[in-house]
């Protein structure tokens, strides 16, 4: 059940997320025609291409990335993880998971913490979206393999219990940090420090941590060239790559 304290309706009776949120479209209902329902799902995927990531909009970023931009780079990053016999990973599964992990946002949009939507409400909304996708749009016999594949990948990512899902979450965090550095470098944005404090301290995989360390040094040099290295370092609050992971491991 979705809490009425975080989700309301506007004067048109449309479901709205948070303060000033975007109205949610009504859930799709099957037409009974498998071909039309499948086509509806394919059209729905356009929303991942056109919807911009909310955090960047809030920060005034010009021409911010879309949801699918984010997922595409994550998938390519997954393909770059080297083989390691001591930590075997199913890389093709990681690639698919990266492309599926934000699929529900095609319906609910990119919900960020500042919207005041609790994690459990966000989870419920995304689950309802996935149920609509899989049961109403892809509910036909011809889509049973796709339905099972999407469901398994989405659930695995949400549970965050397998090595693959943990890696994909790391890639999600690092991709955010990469994009933040790129926007700081290319646009007149004073700082995007909060996007780093919520991402790089939680990196776990050694390869992703190494990428993160190189990225943060690049960022330090960027702000040093602008005479603000010390100020930006304070903005990070002493948090570095994997800081939170080290705290947990040492506890």
> Given this model, what pLDDT does residue 11 score?
43
Mean pLDDT in residue range 23-50: 94
Q: What is the pLDDT of residues 119-156, one digit of tens each?
A: 888 889 999 999 999 999 999 999 999 999 999 999 99
Q: Higher-confidence residue: 23 or 173?
A: 173
| 17 neighbors 117 (Cβ within 8 angstroms) | yes
Angle (CA) 231-235-237 rounded to 5° is 120
> Given this model, what pLDDT does residue 18 score?
39
> Given this model, what pLDDT does residue 10 score?
46
pLDDT band, very low/low/confident/very high, at 112 (cuts 50, 70, 90): confident
- The yes-or-no verdict on residue 235 having pLDDT over 90 is no
SS3 label, residue 236: coil
pLDDT band, very low/low/confident/very high, at 70 (cuts 50, 70, 90): very high
DSSP assignment of 18-47: STTPPBPPPPP---S-HHHHHHHHHHHTHH
Residue 7 forms beta bridges with which residues?
17
Mean pLDDT in residue range 214-223: 95
Angle (CA) 116-118-120 rounded to 5° is 160
Query: Burial code of 215-247, b = ≥16 C-beta within 10 A, e = fewer?
Result: bbeebeeebeeeeeeeebeebbeebbbbbebee
CA–CA distance, 111 with 128 (Å, rounded to integer): 14
CATH code for the part of the protein at 7-250: 1.10.3210.10
β-pairing verdict for 15-17 and 7-9: antiparallel
> Given this model, what pLDDT does residue 237 score?
85
> Given this model, what pLDDT does residue 21 score?
56
Mean pLDDT in residue range 226-234: 87
Q: Higher-confidence residue: 236 or 181?
A: 181
φ, ψ of residue 66 to 5 degrees: the values are: -95, 170
């Amino acid at each position: 059940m979705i809490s009425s304290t975080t989700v309301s309706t506007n004067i048109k009776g449309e479901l709205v997320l948070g303060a000033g949120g975007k109205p949610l479209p009504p859930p799709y209902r099957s037409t009974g025609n498998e071909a039309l329902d499948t086509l509806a799902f394919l059209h729905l995927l356009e929303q991942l291409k056109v919807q911009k990531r909310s955090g960047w909009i809030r920060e005034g970023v010009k021409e911010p990335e879309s949801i699918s931009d984010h997922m595409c780079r994550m998938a390519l990053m997954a393909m770059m993880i080297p083989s390691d016999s001591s930590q075997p990973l199913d890389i093709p599964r990681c690639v698919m998971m990266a492309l599926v992990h934000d699929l529900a946002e095609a319906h609910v949009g990119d919900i960020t913490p500042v919207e005041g939507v609790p994690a459990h409400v966000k989870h419920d909304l995304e689950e309802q979206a996935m149920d609509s996708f899989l049961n109403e749009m892809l509910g036909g016999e011809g889509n049973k393999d796709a339905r099972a594949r999407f469901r398994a990948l989405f659930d695995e990512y949400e549970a965050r219990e397998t090595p693959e899902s943990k890696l994909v979450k790391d890639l999600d965090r690092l991709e955010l940090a990469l994009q933040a550095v790129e926007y700081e470098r290319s646009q007149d944005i004073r700082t995007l420090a909060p996007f780093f404090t919520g991402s790089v301290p939680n990196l776990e995989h050694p390869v992703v941590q190494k990428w993160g360390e190189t990225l943060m040094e690049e960022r330090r040099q960027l702000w040093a060239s602008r005479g603000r290295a010390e100020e930006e370092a304070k903005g990070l609050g002493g948090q570095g790559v994997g800081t939170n992971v080290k705290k947990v491991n040492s506890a």
